[in-house]
């Protein structure tokens, strides 16, 4: 099964000013998160980013914030480690508006809703991999989202904690991918109109 850009949403977890200096291989992790945000902007993939306890950990890293603004991303501030506990799932899967219309028009409304733009595939990356990222991913899986964790855009203070998170996520049913895998699965073809721009972001 490949990622489908039309079914995807991007969620970036807690790439914050006071946290990133402590993350193992932090600059590379952040660079890949920025690539993901720019890909989302390029390919019109809806994006959300979270910030854990912003008064304590600061806002998101400015370079990432800039890329996320291009993508029209929304920010979810949180105190719970799992962003789902703070309402993320409702942001990703909003409650449909009540269907209105007379008996004759209802079938059309239902047909339109059924073929609507459900985006239940969540491309997820963030810090710390074994805390906020892990708890968010497990809760999203429990809510029956398809979760794809971008391993080279995830980090913890230690590699051991990061790798333990990946082991647990794989066992729980998350797909483990890399930034380049996401990019090439979203565009699928060298004939894609944004192939050159996407390739420039990741090469």
CB atoms within 10 A of CB 189: 8
Average pLDDT of the residues in 60-73 = 95
* Token couple for 172: 């729980």
| Residue 75 is assigned to a structural domain of this protein | yes
| Residue 100 is assigned to a structural domain of this protein | no
| Residue 103 is assigned to a structural domain of this protein | no
Task: State whether residue 1 is helix, strand or coil.
Answer: coil
Contacts (Cβ under 8 Å, ≥6 apart) of 167: none
| Residue 102 is assigned to a structural domain of this protein | no
| Residue 167 is assigned to a structural domain of this protein | yes
CA distance 139 to 82: 7
Asked whether 4 and 43 are in contact (CB, 8 A), the reply is no
In the chain, the number of structural domains is: 1
Instruction: Report the CATH number that the domain containing residue 151 is assigned in CATH.
Output: 3.40.50.850
The domain of 194 spans 5-92+117-202
| Residue 14 is assigned to a structural domain of this protein | yes
Distance linking the first and last C-alpha atoms of the chain: 24
Average pLDDT of the residues in 51-63 = 97
CA distance 18 to 82: 19
The pTM is what? 0.89
CA distance 147 to 153: 14
pLDDT in tens, 119-157: 999 999 999 999 999 999 999 999 999 999 999 999 999
């Amino acid at each position: 099964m490949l990622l489908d850009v039309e079914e995807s949403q991007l969620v970036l977890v807690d790439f914050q000013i006071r946290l990133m200096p402590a993350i193992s291989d932090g600059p590379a992790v952040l660079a890949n998160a920025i690539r993901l945000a720019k890909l989302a902007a390029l390919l019109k993939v809806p994006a959300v980013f979270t910030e854990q306890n912003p008064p304590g950990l600061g806002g998101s890293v400015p370079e990432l914030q800039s890329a996320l603004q291009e993508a029209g991303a929304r920010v979810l501030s949180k105190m719970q480690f799992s962003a789902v506990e703070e309402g993320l799932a409702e942001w990703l899967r909003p409650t449909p508006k009540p269907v209105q219309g007379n008996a004759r028009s209802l079938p059309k409304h239902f047909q339109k809703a059924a073929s609507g733009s459900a985006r239940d595939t969540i491309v997820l990356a963030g810090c710390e991999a074994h805390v906020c990222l892990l708890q968010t991913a497990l809760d999203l899986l429990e809510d029956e989202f398809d979760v794809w964790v971008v391993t080279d855009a995830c980090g913890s203070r230690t590699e051991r904690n990061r790798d333990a998170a990946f082991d647990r996520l794989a066992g729980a049913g998350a797909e483990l991918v890399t930034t380049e895998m996401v990019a090439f699965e979203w565009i699928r073809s060298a004939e894609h109109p944004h192939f050159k721009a996407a390739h420039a972001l990741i090469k």
